[in-house]
Amino acid sequence: MPQPAGSLEGLDDNYPIVIDGTDRQDFEYLLEYLYDQVKSPSIPFLVAVLRLSIRWLLPVRHDFAFETLPGHTDFTPFLQLQLAHEF
């Protein structure tokens, strides 16, 4: 996204860094995973970590999501099919 003349992307909240094709909440989940210890990650959290770690080639991160998702009580067959189709 073009920035106005004289502005620097990411300099402050008025000129954020834009990562095309990345949902803000997904990115926040990834940052939370990278910098905090998440004890009971939600399904949306795990899917976001999986999605972005595959996109940006972070194998250790997507291994975490692959290992954690099957043990989650909300990991339904429908969600399994959705993820199989996406990945």
Q: Delimit the domains of the chain by residue range.
A: 24-86
Q: What is the pLDDT of residue 5?
A: 63
Residue-level pLDDT, tens digit, the chain, 87 residues: 555 566 688 888 888 888 889 999 999 999 999 898 888 899 999 999 999 998 998 877 778 888 899 999 899 999 999 999 988
Q: What is the pLDDT of residue 40?
A: 86
Number of helices (H) and strands (E), helices first, in the chain?
A: 4, 0
What is the token pair recorded at 37? Answer: 């210890």
What would you report as the CA-atom Rg of the chain, rounded to the nearest whole angstrom?
A: 16
Find the distance separating the first CA and the last CA of the chain, reported in whole Å: 27
Q: What is the pLDDT of residue 58?
A: 85
DSSP code, position 17: P
Q: What is the pLDDT of residue 60?
A: 76
| Chain CA centroid to CA 34, Å | 10
Q: What is the pLDDT of residue 63?
A: 84
Q: What is the pLDDT of residue 3?
A: 53
Q: What is the pLDDT of residue 4?
A: 59
What is the token pair recorded at 77? Answer: 């067959």
